[in-house]
Chain A
Amino acid sequence: MTTTPAPKPAAAAGGRAGMKKELPEKFRSYKHVWVFIELERGHVHPVSWELMGEGRKLADKLGVQLAGVVLGGAGEDTRAAVQECYAYGADVAYLVESPVLADYRNEPYSRCMMELVNKFQPEILLLGATTLGRDLAGSVATTLATGLTADCTELAVDADGSLAATRPTFGGSLLCTIYTLNFRPQMATVRPRVFSMPERQEGKSGPVIEYEFKMIEDEIVTKLLQFIPDRDSNKSNLAYADVVVAGGLGLGSAENYQLVKDLAKALGAEWGGSRPLVQRGWIPADRQIGQTGKTIRPKLYIAAGISGAIQHRVGVEGADLILAINTDKNAPIMDFAHIGLITDAVRFLPALAKEVRQRIAPNTRSRLVG
């Protein structure tokens, strides 16, 4: 369903772009930047720290505090997550420990976040665009009747202190900048790996504000019967891989996709592809790279036969070095790749794989890239 007003960029912008900020009195006391720390089954999702790095910049620009907000069951993992907040740049941490928050469920989490926001009044609230973050953000924003911008690729503070949240739109063919001018908090979600991981600083600490959440289990309808962890072999490590090889429609056929896997195997890399390959069933959905798939930040990214639509571009721009292999020298990917090879990937990939095998010691990690 929509986030951006109905698909009419010029008109939508024309109707509201000139809208003035007239923040109602009740929101003027809203201050500080919050990052929701996603703690599930004892682990903090790295996207929370990535957001902390970006939140730090926003807070500094605004001259306010950066807070990490930790919800969880009582215990060491929850307390450890609070300490980590400072290591990643928080000035202050909010902590809510309750047995009803031990596992993520929408009802207690959205209620708790709503209470925290209403009591402590942040101006900006950032969450990871994970299954958990999206489930939570949508209901919190609805309850608070405030604006929420999903899957942002850039966050900035403009001259009058408003959050400018930029995200792809129209299926990833254009970008738009969205404001929540007259409501607070200004909410945004960001996908893992869109922002880089900030450096961890040892020995930092700060104040912890504990909040007592009164909801009890009897009030909660939905019960968690069981949690079945993924087997590691089921998971691709695309988002956090150092080297990624990907293919696009330029490969010509599903069979030719094997050449991408072969090169990935030679490099000890992860493999993926553009959205059309998923739609055609050449590769599974969790291997999709781009706006609606995985965002990656590898040191080396090799794109074979990918034209480079914006929705793909926003998913790979964080790579240190992008090698694009394409028969079309005018393909959009040549606008953001660092090295371009104008040749047929199908003929070239086997040669590159061979060269890699010759120059790098024999590969022993093939089981990881199957």
Chain B
Amino acid sequence: MHLVVCIKQVPDSAQIRVHPVTNTIMRQGVPTIINPYDLFAIEAALRLRDKHGGKVTVLTMGPPMAEDSLRRALTYGVDRAVLLTDRAFAGSDTLATSYALSQAILKIGQTYEPVDIVFTGKQTIDGDTAQVGPGIAKRLDLQQLTYVSGVNEVNLEGKTITVERRAEGGVQILKSNLPCLITMLEGTNEIRRGSIDVALAAARAEIVTWNAAAAGVAEMGKCGLKGSPTVVKRVFAPSPRADKAKIIDIGGLTPDAIATKTLDEIFNRLPTIEKELTAMAQG
């Protein structure tokens, strides 16, 4: 079977800093990583390949340096890596991104093997929208299976798949058809460590690099800023609250005395809470 995993290279958000004076992102020196949620998608695809045979192709859209993430994905043992990169994609929102990726997935299917499942992570850590997966599914008319916590069964002859999907208040067991799109839930597996041989091969592997034309992206009006219905009007740091925290003076006090003072302050400001806590404690 042929599994395509869409990944994104993201800044390691734990290390993003905002300039204290200009309120702009200090981008320099922030390391990039594969979006952590995408690792669950890669591993899920690798497990299906190991079980059923076939190939795993990873796909990313981004600047040329996004190649780093693809090479990293190759060290986990994926078979092929495709980089979709074109200045025309700059400024894409989720709608434009899902269009470009969907066209590249079609091209991957035509160039290599027909695609059975498209995987994505449940969302990214920089955009946090969870919109691109569903966007790709709609554009390619794939069955959409989001927040999947496990693939229970794949029947390649019957072209069916059974998955567990995290829903509000429970888990849905869904039976669907191939081809489909799956967004994997976090914590559902653990990304493997590739062998040394695989890592060495990854360093030398060819990254298939396509611009818009090579990927068969037909309608440039659906790409980049032009193809993005959303407009970012303003980026800003939140204004500090006018009154900062009242700092409790604890000079020379023991922890017990500080605790008394703190609880006094809390009860003083929230007169109802003392009663409620007592009621809860007795309830």
Contacts from A to B (Cβ < 8 Å): 1-7, 9-10, 12-13, 15-17, 19, 38, 40-41, 43, 45, 103-107, 110, 130-132, 134-135, 137-139, 141-143, 145-151, 164, 168-183, 221-230, 242-243, 267-268, 275-276, 279, 285, 291-292, 299-300, 310-311, 313-314, 320-324, 329, 333-343, 347-348, 350-352, 354-356, 359-365
Tell whether A324 pairs with B186 under 8 Å between CB atoms, given A223-B175, A365-B283: no
Bound-state Cα–Cα, A275 to B14, Å:
9
Task: Tell whether, in the assembled complex, residue A180 and residue B230 are in contact, meaning their CB atoms are under 8 Å apart.
Answer: yes
A355–B258 Cα distance when bound, in Å, is: 10
Question: What are the 9 closest A-B residue pairs judged by CB atoms, nearest first?
Answer: A171-B13, A138-B134, A1-B132, A340-B245, A147-B229, A351-B255, A9-B235, A355-B259, A150-B129
Q: In the complex, A147 Cα to B90 Cα: how many Å?
A: 17
Give the contacting residue for B247; candidates A2, A134, A224, A329; CB below 8 A.
A329
Q: Digit string of B206-242 for contact with A (CB within 8 Å is 1, else 0)?
A: 0000000000000000000100111111111110110
Is the beta-carbon distance between A13 and B233 smaller than 8 angstroms? Answer: yes
Residue B150 is within 8 A (CB to CB) of chain A in the complex: no
List, in ascending order, chain B residues with CB within 8 A of A321's CB.
Answer: 266, 269-270, 273
Q: List 22 A-B contacts (CB under 8 A).
A: A2-B127, A3-B127, A5-B93, A6-B90, A17-B234, A19-B231, A106-B146, A130-B168, A143-B138, A171-B11, A171-B126, A173-B13, A268-B277, A276-B14, A299-B270, A322-B245, A334-B245, A343-B250, A348-B259, A354-B256, A362-B281, A363-B281
Query: A-facing mask of B24-65, CB < 8 A → 1, else 0?
Result: 110100000000000000000000000000000000000000
**In the complex with contacts A179-B230, A292-B125, A361-B282, A7-B11 CB distance below 8 A:** yes
Would you call B176 and A135 a contact (CB within 8 A)? no
Return chain B residues, CB-CB under 8 Å to A279: 14
- Is B107 interfacial (CB-CB < 8 Å)? no
Q: Is the CB of A12 within 8 A of B235?
A: yes
A144 to chain B, nearest CB (A): 10
- B252 interface residue, CB < 8 Å from A? no
**Within 8 Å CB of A183, what residues of B?**
229
Which residues of chain B come closer than 8 Å to A146, judged between CB atoms? 95, 229
Instruction: Judge whether B238 and A179 touch: CB under 8 Å.
Output: no
What is B's interface to A at a CB cutoff of 8 Å? 6, 8, 11, 13-14, 16-18, 23-25, 27, 90-95, 97-98, 101, 120, 124-135, 137-139, 143-147, 162, 166-177, 186-187, 225, 228-238, 240-241, 244-248, 250, 254-256, 258-260, 262-263, 265-266, 269-270, 272-274, 276-278, 280-283
B255 touching A347, Cβ below 8 Å: yes
How far in angstroms is the closest Cβ of chain B from A65? 24
Q: Which residues of A contact B169 (CB under 8 A)?
A: 40-41, 43, 229-230
A180 & B131 in contact (Cβ 8 Å cutoff): no
Residues of chain B within 8 A of A142, CB atoms compared: 95, 98, 134-135, 138-139
Please name all residues of chain B whose beta carbon is closer than 8 Å to the beta carbon of A169 when the two chains form the complex: 235
Residues of chain A with a CB closer than 8 A to B250's CB: 341-343
The dominant DSSP class at the B interface is mixed
Contacts of A5 in B (CB 8 A): 90-93, 225, 228, 232
Please determine whether A224 and B24 come into contact, CB atoms closer than 8 angstroms: no
State whether B94 touches A148 (Cβ < 8 A).
yes
A291: min CB distance to chain B, Å: 7
Known: A224-B173, A268-B281. A106 touches B144 (CB 8 A): yes
Give the residues in chain B near A177, CB-CB below 8 Å. Answer: 232-234, 236
A4 touches B127 (CB 8 A): yes
Q: Report yes or no: A131 in contact with B283, Cβ–Cβ below 8 A.
A: no
A132 x B168 contact (CB < 8 A): yes
CA distance A131 to B166 in the complex (A): 8
The answer to whether B282 touches A151, judged by C-beta atoms less than 8 angstroms apart, is no
Contacts of B125 in A (CB 8 A): 171, 292
